[in-house]
Amino acid sequence: MRYIVVFLILANLGYLGWSFYQPPAPSPDAGPSRNLLNNGLMLVNEYQEQREEIAAELAAAGPVCYVLTPVPSVDEARILLAEAQEAGFDARIQLTGEPLQPQYRVYLPPASTREIATVTLDGLSAQLTAANLEIETYLLTRGFLENAIALGVYQQPDNAERVESSVEELGYEVEIEEIPRSTGAIELVLQVPESDPPDRAEWPDFTATRPYLTLTENNCETIAEASQFP
């Protein structure tokens, strides 16, 4: 028994010595240290500062407009103008390029119904035939002059005034409209008002039934005078 105890003591001392002189095992290579990943979070005050900076940049760039182009005619532009204003936009018609000599449209004012307009057209046509007057007449069926009777479009104001005088002698009220023209495209400029702007989700899709139109964003620049488009 004594020998067993002595053996165990010697064995423990031997193991302790072996452990003491054994070199430590190499630790796995963790590689070079890296910075913490940016998780996209920012402080509230940093977010507010960024918003103020963006707002200042937008204010310095001027108001933003949306441009519908190319509008095929002034009549179509006026229809779009009414739709845009009804949707809450500040809208204007703009002619690009160099100005040209305007045209002059002669017409009878719109009737209250299509039936009245048709009866008026028939009566006017009969009177023009009886008076040997060759004047183009047709019914306008859409747009801001819907149910009006057109009496032609003329390049010179004198020709328009002669038609006006001839038809007025038959007892009709006649109006002359000046139609502006230019060498460039007709555009509709839309600006969102700063006060009570319309919700973007509620904007009408101006290009849905007009695939020939393109809506682009641009800074508000030179805009045609409103007096050109009464």
Q: Whole-angstrom Cα distance, residue 13 to residue 33?
A: 42
CB 215 within 8 A of CB 207: yes
If one counts the domains in the chain, the total is 2
159 and 112 fall within a common domain: yes
Residue 159 sits in the same domain as residue 204? no
> 211 lies in which domain range?
65-96+183-224
Write the pLDDT tens digit of every residue in 11-67.
Answer: 666 666 556 555 555 555 555 554 544 455 556 666 567 666 655 554 555 567 889
Spatial contact of 180 and 74, defined as CB atoms under 8 Å apart: yes
Flag whether 128 is in a domain: yes
Residues 202 and 174 reside in one and the same domain: no
Q: What is the pTM of this model?
A: 0.62
Residue 86 maps to a domain:
yes
The DSSP H or E segment spanning 176 is strand 175-182
Q: Is residue 58 part of a domain?
A: no
Inside any domain, residue 126: yes
Q: By three-state DSSP, how is residue 135 classified? A: coil
| pLDDT per position as a tens digit, 105-148 | 999 999 999 999 999 999 999 999 999 999 999 999 988 899 99
